[in-house]
Chains A and B, each alone.
Chain A
Amino acid sequence: MYWKEKYKTRTVDQYEGYDTIYNNIPRLDFAELLDHMEAFTEVHKKYRNAHPAIREAECFDAQFPQMMLGIMPNDLFCGRADIFPLGMNAQYINNEWGFVMNFEWFDGKLEDESVSEKDRRRLLALREYWSDKTSSMRYLNEMDPVEKEYLITGGVGFDPNGQPQAASASSRVAGIFLDYEKLLSYGLAGLMRLISDKQAEHPENDPLFYEGMKIQLGTVIKTLKWYAEEAARLAGEEENEFRRDELLEMERICRKLVTEKPESFREAIQLVIIYTIMDGAREWGRMDDYLALYYKEDMEKGQLDEEEAIRLLSGFWRLMIVKEQITDDRVIIGGLGRKHPKEADVLAMVIMETSRRVKDIVPQLTLRMYHGMKPELYEKALECIGEGVTFPMLYQDENIIPGIQKVFGISYEEALDWMPLGCGEFTVNHRIIASPNGVMNLANVLWGTINGGYDSTNRYLLTPNRTFLTDYDTFEDLWKTYCDNVEYLVNITVKNHSRGYAVIAEDMSLNLHNILYDGCLDTGKGVINGGTSKCAGSDEIYGLVTCSDSLYAIKKLVYEDRVIDRETMLAALKADFAGYEKEYSLMLHADKFGNDLKEVDEMMAAVHEQISFSTLALSGKYFGLDAHGMVNINNRENTVRGRFTGATPDGRRAGESLTNANNPTSGMDKNGVTAFINSLLKARGDIHFGVVQNMKFSKDTFNHMRETVIRPVLDSYFGRGGTQAMITVIGREDLENARKHPEKYSNLIVRVGGFSARYIELDDDIQLDILNRTLN
């Protein structure tokens, strides 16, 4: 039993055939875990009324190194962490941060008959103590009851397996980008001295704020020593000479980092890993830049060659992979504003080659492109993408930086250090936290708007209006209510985002973040407590195009062409189109975004602008959110939220996925890539905190027409303001899936000899024929 398995996103089987070893060996058995959790709880009780920095530091010290996992047979670096059913973290686990208890795990154990009566009493005592003290429980219990109906319960009761919502607000922080340059140049001992110096420099600040950081750094040092012992022990048992040397090297590095700053590429990586894993941060910053000089100097000294660097980075990547935080682990390369651009470019090539060889879903390698970038980097990026790696993701600095300046309200120089976090939300490297804590499902905002404020089942409260589709005599009436609903919901998500920060700030100071975020050491305040120059947040948007295509269908079919009346439209949607084949066909075949068609694309742009401006308008209204905006990004949530969204007027059936980011509905962009890109470019790129675009190309086109087609397409996109592209190069599996789900592949064109056909329009035997020919 591995305690983290409660949180798993992959299974051990998925590591078969990979170099990465899934560590499912727990360090603590159940009895030890129970002892540990009690000890941790005692520390919390002892420091309950202490300064948050001290409480945090002492609790942190109570959970390390117990939470660290052992060194696995092919590990090159130390730094694997478990997740316990009770603990504290400074970013999030399952969308919770601060003091966290996995109540589900506890309830399971309490019902487990193999657990002794005595242990059950102990578990129960822990559960009772924490039931009102975890940060998320405090956040939920203190929420305004009316806001809670919209954001959490839908007015019914909280269903942990999910329920319809138009908006929700979680308590967490995402996208911590630490100052690795600072970490590496000072080392742990140097940081300890720096904190003391800053404390002396600022007698006006609370000394406990600094004291907490020092205690916490001490725990990092303690953990490094523990890893050194582990490495030494394993080396003593190791028969393979090569591996023994490797373990001894790991021991040496861990011991060195206790007192000295890193001086080699490998030492630098080890320090970055241990600090990040213990901090809880999930992003890895501008790696090509902060490791550039270590790489260069090691190469010059002859201590490192490119293959060895790739081997080390592969070991680094493997530790990211086993964390299973697949929506994080950003490694950023390239871009304006690097300190060592020339040296960093060299390392960026090595980093891309590492990802090409490892070929996994993390790190989310990100290339920031800019005018004047070395062409080799772009070449290499296209080579990796063409092999189906899907990385690096491409971002165009010149199209992003002006928007960053505007939405964050910062200077050009500050904006140069913008970073895409997680799924693509913008933030500023170790300067501004911009966490996406609110979520909006625009398709359900529309449902509330047309259904008296309720979802398609009439059970869950979504929006504050009490009007129905039948009440709107004009489309403008409907649009106004929709906009009012968005504004209402955005406001309560932002308000609760701010309140969530206040809850956490009472619980902990975020010591390790504070050390490596600009401003905190001087202001004597934490990162979400006024310590940095600014603090920001965002609302994640789902189903934007589902919503805009639906609004367009209503406008066109109900109000303009009058081919469906209002009662029938609502009835058809509630019935999930059963018995309404004609209406279904009309809705499904109404124009869709992504085909370079004026009116429907304009509707998308209007929905995009409305949500963008509604969120921007709240900048500075609530404490801790000096800048606020919307992000329309890309993860699995569009599918999850779709399950709780009734049928929509764009012809989407109940429960199906919502659209992903600002991409067209799957398979509904039928006019080719150029039309798709023209549509994308109609949505403004300078009024949000991140929007992502997925593009798919066939392997044949991407690799054999790279110069004649792919480069011109990408040049046109980025040349006309495109901010970002995530490129998938598709192959055989698409043809297979197209046969199973033809409705999603109407844009799949097959090319054989001199003409094209839409694959799904071909007869079965011919499809099979092409599939077979393509495959062999």
Chain B
Amino acid sequence: MADLQIFDLQRFALHDGPGIRTTIFVKGCPLDCLWCHNPESKKYQTQLSCLYKNCVLCGRCVEVCPESVHWIDREGHHIDYSRCVRCGKCVDACYQKALRLYGRRYGIEELLQIVLKDRDFYERSGGGITLSGGEPMSQFQSVKEMLRRAKGEGLHTCLDTCGYAKTEQYAEIMEYVDLFLYDYKITCSKKHIEYTGVDNALIKHNLKFICENGGKVFLRCPIIPGINDEEEHFQAITELSVRFANILQVNIMAYHDMAKSKAAQIGADYPLARLETVEKEQKEKIYERLEMLGCLRLCEG
């Protein structure tokens, strides 16, 4: 039986597709978006995390760690994340629950049993299960099995994807996906490489493939000031909405800066440290621009 490496499971998820859902956050992503709001989702491997404000400098982690990852001095608690071998000893020793590991393997059956607990809520609300991430397609076989089992149980399924996976895999998984939550990040190919680490040709191709082969899509567009809030991109979004009737909704996901603290907890840099959250008024302006351009089926994300 296949396993899934996940970093979170959220019941009563209300924003990852229609109705009340359970969202499984799969760990690992082929993209490296500068603004990623789930930095703990990027690596496939389990990762140590520290909520520094909970730490009382008791030093137990220092005592139990075989790799000298932790040390405490007058400036506080320091962690060399690169040396961590993910044994979890420090997490067990941490009574304050400041330390934790992101990433745990679950069996498909085990996950399915958790998901099915809320079946009645899904049925009454038109909800179901969402596979998100990270990038769920990065654990393709397990994700496909998860979705197949969920469909077998009659659940509505969503796949939240960045679109960067083999087209054949989308072809293979489509029958088990009721709705794709499909990210569309940057239109300019060069910029896409610069800010996400990969080219967008495959992403565009896969979107076309899904739409033309009967897949239902909510197009999810993160808008990051200074990176993609530009005319060319808005026009491209509009064109996609006009071209593909299977894009049932266009969702604008305006940038917010909550990832800053999350990045610090896993010892990662956050390159957009100075960028501020897009406020409501700015967001409304983005909507207005898209509407002016003729974007169809624009919905609150």
Chain A residues lying within 8 Å of B279, measured Cβ to Cβ, are 773
Is residue B151 contacting chain A, with contact meaning CB distance below 8 A? no
Q: A582-B95, A671-B11, A712-B20 are in contact. Are A753 and B256 (CB under 8 A)?
A: yes
Shortest Cβ distance from residue B71 to the other chain A in the assembled complex, whole angstroms: 21
B255 within 8 A of A: yes
Residue A741 is within 8 A (CB to CB) of chain B in the complex: no
In the complex with contacts A671-B11, A709-B14, A769-B277, A716-B121 CB distance below 8 A: yes
Contact between chains at A596 and B124 (CB < 8 Å):
no
Complex-state Cα separation, A711 to B124, whole angstroms: 9
* Complex contacts, B10 vs chain A, CB 8 Å: 672, 756
Chain B residues contacting A43 (CB-CB under 8 Å) are none
- A21 proximity list for chain B (CB < 8 A): none
B294 contacts partner chain A, Cβ-Cβ < 8 Å: no
| Chain A neighbourhood of B70, CB < 8 A | none
The answer to whether A708 and B277 touch (CB under 8 A), given A672-B11, A757-B258, is no
Q: Chain B's nearest CB lies how many Å from the CB of A708?
A: 6
Chain A residues near B254 (CB-CB < 8 A)? 753
A674 B53 Cβ-Cβ under 8 A = no
How far apart are the CA atoms of A769 and B251 in the complex, in Å? 24
Task: Return the CB mask of B89-106 against A: 1 if under 8 Å, else 0.
Answer: 000000111000000000
Which residue of chain B has its CB nearest to the CB of A770? B258
Which chain B residues border A673 with CB–CB below 8 Å?
Answer: 12
Flag whether A752 is at the interface (Cβ < 8 A). yes
Could you say which of A181-189, A228-236, A426-434, A758-766 contacts chain B? A758-766
CB distance from A287 to the nearest CB of B (A): 32
Given A585-B97, A716-B124, A753 contacting B255 (CB threshold 8 A): yes
Closest-by-CB residue of A relative to B114 is: A596
CB-defined contacts of A678 to chain B, threshold 8 Å = 117-118
Task: Encode contact with B along A575-619: 1 for CB under 8 Å, 0 otherwise.
Answer: 000000110110001000000100000000000000000000000
For A497-509 the 0/1 string (1 means CB < 8 A from B) is 0000000000000
A558 interface hit (Cβ, 8 Å): no
Interface presence of B138 (CB below 8 A): no
B interface: dominant SS: loop
Q: Are A712 and B38 in contact (CB under 8 A)?
A: no
Q: Cβ of B253 < 8 Å from any Cβ of A?
A: yes
| CB atoms of B19 and A763 under 8 A apart | no
Question: Could you tell me if B120 and A596 are in contact, using CB atoms closer than 8 angstroms?
Answer: no
Given contacts A589-B97, A712-B124, A762-B261, contact A753 B253 (CB under 8 A): yes
B258 touches A712 (CB 8 A): no
B246-262 vs A: 1/0 string, CB under 8 Å? 00000101111110111
Contacts of B19 in A (CB 8 A): 708-709, 712
Within the complex, what minimum Cβ distance (angstroms) separates A57 from chain B? 57
Interface residues of A: mostly helix, strand, loop or mixed? helix
User: How many angstroms between the C-alpha atoms of A188 and B10 in the bound complex?
Assistant: 62
B125 at the interface (CB under 8 A from A): yes
Would B11 and A674 count as touching, CB distance under 8 A? Answer: yes
Q: Which of A719, A753, A764 has the most CB of B within 10 A?
A: A753
Q: Flag if A713 contacts B38 (CB, 8 Å).
A: no
A712 in contact with B125 given A705-B14, A754-B220, A763-B53 (CB within 8 Å) = yes
Kindly name the residue among A596, A752, A764 whose own CB sees the greatest number of chain B CB atoms within 10 A.
A752
A305 at the binding interface (Cβ < 8 Å): no
A-contact 0/1 string along B4-35, CB 8 Å cutoff: 00000011111100111000000000000000
Which residues between 31 and 62 of chain B lie within 8 Å of chain A, taking CB atoms? 37-38, 51, 53, 58
Check if B301 is an interface residue, CB within 8 A of chain A.
yes
A734 interface hit (Cβ, 8 Å): no
B258 touches A752 (CB 8 A): yes
Give residues of chain A (703-757) contacting chain B, Cβ–Cβ below 8 Å: 705, 708-709, 711-713, 715-716, 719-720, 751-757
- B197 proximal to A (CB < 8 A): no
Question: Residue A712 contacts which of B51, B121, B277 (CB distance < 8 angstroms)?
Answer: B121
Q: Which of A713, A756, A770 contacts B121 (CB 8 A)?
A: A713
Q: How many residues of B contact A (CB 8 A)?
A: 42
B89 to chain A, nearest CB (A): 14
Q: State the Cβ distance, A650 to closest chain B Cβ, in Å.
A: 16
Q: How far is the CA of A552 from the CA of B13 in the complex (A)?
A: 29
Report the Cα distance A711→B126, complex, angstroms. Answer: 12
Asked if residues A581 and B95 are in contact (CB atoms below 8 Å), the reply is yes
Chain B proximity mask over A521-564: 1 for CB below 8 Å, otherwise 0: 00000000000000000000000000000000000000000000
Q: Which of A297-336 contact B (CB under 8 A)?
A: none
How long is the Cα–Cα vector from A757 to B257 in the complex, in angstroms?
A: 12
B265-277 vs A, Cβ < 8 Å mask (1 yes, 0 no): 0000000000001
Q: Which of B213-263 contact A (CB under 8 A)?
A: 220, 222, 251, 253-258, 260-262
Chain A residues with CB under 8 A of B38: 755
Inter-subunit contact A766/B258 (CB<8 Å): yes
Residue A675 is within 8 A (CB to CB) of chain B in the complex: yes
Contact B20 A713 (CB under 8 A): yes
Residue of A nearest to B276 (CB): A769
Please report the C-alpha to C-alpha distance between residue A763 and residue B51 in the assembled complex, in whole angstroms. Answer: 9
Given A716-B121, A764-B53, residue A675 in contact with residue B20 (CB < 8 A): no
* A residues near B301, Cβ cutoff 8 Å: 753-754
Q: A415 to chain B: closest CB distance in Å? A: 27
Query: Which residues from A are CB-within-8-Å of B20?
Result: 674, 708-709, 712-713
In the bound complex, residues from chain A placing their C-beta under 8 Å from that of B125 are 708-709, 712-713
Question: For the complex, what is the distance from the CA of A753 to the CA of B256, rounded to whole Å?
Answer: 7
- Say yes or no for A458: interface residue by CB 8 A criterion: no
Give the shortest distance, in Å, between B190 (CB) and chain A (any CB). Answer: 25
- A674 and B121 contact, Cβ closer than 8 Å, known pairs A582-B95, A708-B18: yes
Least CB distance, A776 to chain B, in whole angstroms: 10
Chain B positions within 8 Å of A705 at CB level: 14
Q: Is A568 an interface residue (CB 8 A)?
A: no
Write the nearest CB–CB distance from A561 to chain B, whole angstroms: 13
Q: Assess the A756–B15 pair: CB atoms within 8 A.
A: yes
Chain A residue nearest to B118 (CB atoms) is A674
B51–A761 contact, CB under 8 A?
Answer: yes
Q: Do B12 and A754 touch (CB < 8 A)?
A: no
- B120 and A752 contact, CB distance less than 8 A: no
Chain A 460-487, CB-CB to B under 8 Å as 1, else 0, gives 0000000000000000000000000000
Q: Which residues in chain A, 642-692, are within 8 Å of chain B measured between CB atoms?
A: 671-675, 678
The residue of chain B having its C-beta at the shortest distance from the C-beta of A596 within the complex is B117
Q: Contact: A672 with B12, CB < 8 Å? A: yes
B-chain residues with CB within 8 Å of residue A756 when the two chains form the complex: 10, 13, 15
Residues of chain A lying within 8 A (CB to CB) of residue B260: 763, 766
A585 vs B124: C-alpha distance when bound (angstroms): 39
When chains A and B are docked, how far (Å) is the Cα of A711 from the Cα of B19?
11
Query: How far is A773 from B20 in the complex, measured between Cα atoms in Å?
Result: 26
Q: Measured between alpha carbons, how far is A705 from B96 in the docked complex, in Å?
A: 36
Q: Given contacts A672-B11, A708-B19, are A755 and B121 in contact (CB under 8 A)?
A: no
Please judge, given known A-B contacts A674-B12, A715-B124, A716-B124, whether A762 and B258 are in contact too, CB under 8 Å. yes
* A24 on the B face (CB < 8 A): no
Beyond A678-B118, A757-B258, 12 additional pairs, beta carbon < 8 A:
A581-B95, A589-B97, A674-B12, A674-B20, A708-B14, A716-B121, A719-B120, A720-B120, A753-B301, A754-B253, A763-B264, A766-B258
For the complex of A and B, list the 5 residue pairs with the smallest distance between their C-beta atoms, beginning with the closest: A672-B12, A712-B125, A585-B95, A712-B124, A763-B261
A residues sitting closer than 8 Å to B (CB atoms) are 581-582, 584-585, 589, 596, 671-675, 678, 701, 705, 708-709, 711-713, 715-716, 719-720, 751-757, 761-764, 766, 769-770, 773
The chain B residues found within 8 Å of chain A, CB to CB, are 10-15, 18-20, 37-38, 51, 53, 58, 95-97, 117-118, 120-121, 124-127, 220, 222, 251, 253-258, 260-262, 264, 277-279, 301
Can you spell out 29 A-B residue pairs with CB atoms less than 8 angstroms apart? A585-B97, A589-B97, A672-B12, A672-B13, A673-B12, A674-B20, A675-B11, A675-B12, A708-B19, A708-B126, A711-B124, A712-B124, A716-B120, A719-B124, A751-B15, A752-B256, A752-B258, A753-B278, A754-B37, A754-B222, A755-B15, A756-B13, A757-B262, A762-B258, A763-B53, A763-B264, A764-B53, A766-B261, A773-B279
